[in-house]
């Protein structure tokens, strides 16, 4: 008796494109990643979800949910691959938008090479302490995914990633990617060059890691989702960026 073939993996892009007859592609994608980021935030971003949901009808919300489930299946089939960033650059952002905003997608092969170079000497990293990584222009988080892939699981759990981007949609993509691949990350919407930071979100792996997962949504840090970083945190970011050793 021959073994059954696994069911084919769907395509979240085709599901989203079913909404294109009523909405522009960029609005659809922005809403999709906002919904997905809120979904993986374990009830710590409910207000954001409800605010965005007001703009869509029930059938559209159901389609977004189906697209998210399909995305998760696709990600499982392609570990540590940034599926969102590639789709964003190809369909959601026009070529003019790329030029005007200076947004370009770094190929996974380049990200993997840079990650291996950055983490080449793992022996010098602390064996039982957090490993701080700062990504000042994270985009959708492709570089962070490559860092996570290079690290053994035990080391990956000790990562403390601060990821910053000026693009709000990129922040949502990075939040989704780091959360679903178990990389502790603090995602900050801000302009690193101008030293301006407007909002920040911590994924469930970053929030109070000493607590059981079920208790983390009640931690003070979880209650502050979406608020600007504190002056003390901004100072730590500035210090991290000055230490090129752990800045990507």
Does residue 28 surpass a pLDDT of 80? yes
For 99-131, what is each residue's pLDDT tens digit? 445 566 788 999 999 999 988 888 788 788 999
Share of the chain above pLDDT 70, in %: 89
**In the chain, where the domains are located:** 12-101, 108-242
Is the CB of residue 125 less than 8 Å from the CB of residue 159? no
Q: What is the pTM of this model?
A: 0.90
Residue 128 class from Cβ within 10 Å (0-12 exposed, 13-18 middle, 19+ buried)?
exposed
Which of 117-126, 155-164, 174-183, 239-248 is the least confident region?
Answer: 239-248
Q: What pLDDT score was predicted for residue 5?
A: 47
Which of 3-7, 10-14, 45-49, 205-209 is the least confident region?
Answer: 3-7
CATH of 108-242, one of 3.40.50, 1.10.150, 2.60.40, 1.10.10: 3.40.50
């Amino acid at each position: 008796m021959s073994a059954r073939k696994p069911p084919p993996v769907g395509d979240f892009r085709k599901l989203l494109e079913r909404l294109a007859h009523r909405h522009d592609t960029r609005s659809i994608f922005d809403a999709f990643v906002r919904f997905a980021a809120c979904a993986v935030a374990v009830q710590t971003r409910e207000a954001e979800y409800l605010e965005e949901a007001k703009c869509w009808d029930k059938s559209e919300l159901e389609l977004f949910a189906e697209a998210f489930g399909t995305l998760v299946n696709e990600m499982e089939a392609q570990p540590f691959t940034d599926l969102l960033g590639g789709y964003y650059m190809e369909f959601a952002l026009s070529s003019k938008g790329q030029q005007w905003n200076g947004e370009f997608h770094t190929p996974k092969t380049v990200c993997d090479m840079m990650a291996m170079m950055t983490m080449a000497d793992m022996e010098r990293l602390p064996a039982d302490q957090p490993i701080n990584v700062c990504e000042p222009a994270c985009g959708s988080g492709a570089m962070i995914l490559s860092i996570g892939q290079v690290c053994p699981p035990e080391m990956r759990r000790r990562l403390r990633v601060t990821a910053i981007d000026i693009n709000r949609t990129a922040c949502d993509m990075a939040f989704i990617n780091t959360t679903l691949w178990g990389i502790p990350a603090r995602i900050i919407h801000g302009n690193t060059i101008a030293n301006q930071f407007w909002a920040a979100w911590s994924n469930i792996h970053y929030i109070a890691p000493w607590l059981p997962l079920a208790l983390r949504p009640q931690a003070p840090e979880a209650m502050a989702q979406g608020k600007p970083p504190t002056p003390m945190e901004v100072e730590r970011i500035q210090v991290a960026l000055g230490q090129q050793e752990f800045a990507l």
